[in-house]
């Protein structure tokens, strides 16, 4: 049994994973879903990291999954605790010393002009789930956006980038280029949009658990 540590993205919450959690549990695994202190104007990377470590407690055999902006936090956990696998899901892949606020220009991100927020983040998500989402979004006022990413190098942990083919926020071609530039890897791909844990939870659970097979 592995412990999946699911780290939400910017402005998100543990709710973002609520359809994936039972899928992973039904496959025999433990799941930890921390709420990062993004609404705390004094919180930064250190507080994000400690929140996740506190949620993990003494659990072991960790698979850390960082979604979107959560990819800035996920490697910090792999630097602090033994981690079996690091999965970056439709991610913002950081590099040492980079300020998250600079990531957009540094990666050459051109935005998604003409698309609504729903089209960018929730394409493919059932309408009833989209209707619930606004109640779970949070204002991100934490300080880490202006702080250099604290690692000097990528942690020595097996790392997989998993992108969604229909992602309209971070298009697949953009994600392939960033993964190659920053990690020297070609990402794995799955069906769905940016919020793939809400649109394809069963398929995502199958993919994540398949990574554990010999």
Confidence of residue 95 (pLDDT cuts 50, 70, 90): very high
Assigned fold of 3-210: Rossmann fold (3.40.50)
> What is the band of 129 on the pLDDT scale with cuts at 50, 70, 90?
very high
Residue 112: pLDDT above 90? Answer: no
Nearest-Å Rg of the Cα atoms of the chain is: 16
In this prediction, residues 34-47 reach a mean pLDDT of 98
Q: How many Cα neighbours within 13 Å face the side chain of 103? A: 23
**pLDDT of 113 over the 90 cut:** no
Single out the residue of 46, 44, 16, 20 nearest to residue 138, CA to CA: 16
Confidence of residue 111 (pLDDT cuts 50, 70, 90): confident
What is the pLDDT, as a whole number, of residue 205? 98
Q: Cα(54)–Cα(192) distance, rounded to whole angstroms?
A: 31
Phi, psi angle pair for 160, to nearest 5° = -125, 135
Q: What is the pTM of this model?
A: 0.97
Where residue 67 falls among pLDDT bands split at 50, 70, 90? very high
Supply angle C-alpha 200, 203, 204, rounded to 5. Answer: 80
Q: What is the predicted pLDDT for the residue at 65?
A: 98
**Cα dist. 175→109, 116, 188, 200, 207 in Å?**
10, 20, 10, 19, 18
Contact 199, 193 (CB under 8 A): yes
Q: Domain extents for the chain?
A: 3-210
The average pLDDT across 52-79 equals 98
Q: What is the mean pLDDT of residues 15-42?
A: 98
Q: What is the pLDDT of residues 139-190, one digit of tens each?
A: 999 999 999 999 999 999 999 999 999 999 999 999 999 999 999 999 999 9
pLDDT at 206: 98
Which pLDDT does position 191 carry in this prediction?
A: 97
Confidence check: pLDDT of 201 > 90? yes
Residue 167: alpha-carbon gap to chain centroid: 14
């Amino acid at each position: 049994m592995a412990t999946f540590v699911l780290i939400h993205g910017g402005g998100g919450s543990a709710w973002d994973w609520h359809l994936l959690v039972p899928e992973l549990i039904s496959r025999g695994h433990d799941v930890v879903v921390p709420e990062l202190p993004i609404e705390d104007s004094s919180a930064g990377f250190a507080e994000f990291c400690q929140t996740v470590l506190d949620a993990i407690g003494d659990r072991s055999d960790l698979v850390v999954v960082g979604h979107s902006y959560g990819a800035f936090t996920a490697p910090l956990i792999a630097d602090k605790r033994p981690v079996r696998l690091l999965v970056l899901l439709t991610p913002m892949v950081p590099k040492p010393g980079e300020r998250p606020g600079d990531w957009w220009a540094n990666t050459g991100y051109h935005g998604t002009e003409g698309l609504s927020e729903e089209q960018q983040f929730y394409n493919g998500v059932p309408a009833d789930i989209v209707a619930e989402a606004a109640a779970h979004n949070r204002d991100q006022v934490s300080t880490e956006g202006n702080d250099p990413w604290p690692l000097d190098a990528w942690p020595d942990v097996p790392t997989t980038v998993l992108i969604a083919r229909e992602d309209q926020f971070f298009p697949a071609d953009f994600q392939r280029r960033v993964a190659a530039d920053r990690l020297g890897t070609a990402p794995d791909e799955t069906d769905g949009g940016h919020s793939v844990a809400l649109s394809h939870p069963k398929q995502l659970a199958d993919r994540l658990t398949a990574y554990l097979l010999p």
